[in-house]
Amino acid sequence: MINRKWRIPGFFKDIHESGIWFVLVVLVVLGIVVGVLDFIHWDREFAKGILAEANAVLIDIFLLGIVFAIYDYRRRRKEKIGDLQKELAHLRMWDTPVAILRKVELLDDLTTKGHRPVKLQYYNLRKAELKGCDLSGVNMRFTIFEGALMPSAKFVRSDLFCVDFGNSLLVQADLTEADLSEANFAGAQLSNAILTGADVRHADFRGAVELTCEQLTSAKNWEEAHRDPALACGAAIPQPAQKSLGQQFREQFRANGNPLYPYQLGTVIHQDGRRETVVLKEE
């Protein structure tokens, strides 16, 4: 996902597009002119004082130009990052292939610039290609990655509560110490995925491909994860008599033809004492 070799050309591109490019060109031309005059007239007494003053003024202007260039570059960079984040937020739940591709481009651009998003809650990234992406430490609660291609992706210490990884490709993905409670891995390819220290309480691994007991038992609360009999790993498998909160959320989300995000899960207690989990709109 990240192509670091474009960082330096990107810097020069930003400089070229800014208003300081003309100033820098003028400074270079003035430097050449003063340098030529130094070479021609420096041996003449009357010219030494004038040329010395010209050199001092040129150096001052050049230093001021450098300071201004750095300031303007940082200002433009900050504005551009803000624009990228706003566009990404605007496209949060768009599900068209073009919108998904644009969200991937925005994430790539932000990450390349060293501004990994802090929060990606409730995003729709279904079937996104996020090969080798680094979204470590990012809050991605309730985000949909169904069918996404994410080999070698990094989600170290990320908040992935209720995330839908169904049928996604997570080969060699690093999920170390991530919060994977209530996450859905049904049909996900987890060959060599790292689950060390991740919290998988009530996560659904039924139908996961190439997941081993060694991987699963390296996670926390793995005994409470829903899994196939082949992944009993010496512990009782939770009975699926009651659906997890994650399952209920995903079912309600998919049943809603016009979802308005963000949502949160809430519990309604009826008069007869019956408890029901519902999806509520956050205010």
CA distances from 229 to 34, 186, 225, 237, 266 (A): 82, 14, 12, 7, 32
Instruction: Mark 231-247 as b/e (b = at least 16 C-beta within 10 Å).
Output: bebeeebeeeeeebbbb
Per-residue pLDDT of the chain (283 residues; tens, 9 = 90+): 444 444 445 555 555 555 555 566 666 666 666 566 555 555 555 455 555 565 666 666 666 666 766 666 667 767 777 777 888 888 887 888 898 898 988 888 888 767 777 788 888 898 999 988 899 999 998 899 999 999 989 999 999 998 999 999 999 999 999 999 989 999 999 998 999 999 999 899 999 999 999 999 999 999 999 899 999 999 988 876 566 666 666 666 655 543 444 445 566 777 887 766 555 555 4
Alpha-carbon distance 106 to 121, whole Å? 16
In 3D, which of 198, 127, 115 has the Cα closest to residue 156? 198
Rounded to 5 degrees, φ, ψ at 32 are -65, -45
Closest Cα to residue 55, out of 83, 35, 29? 35
Q: How far apart are CA 153 and CA 213, in angstroms?
A: 21
CATH class for the region spanning 93-240: mainly beta
Domain spans in the chain, listed from the N-terminal domain onward: 4-87, 93-240, 245-281
For residue 11, the SS3 value is helix
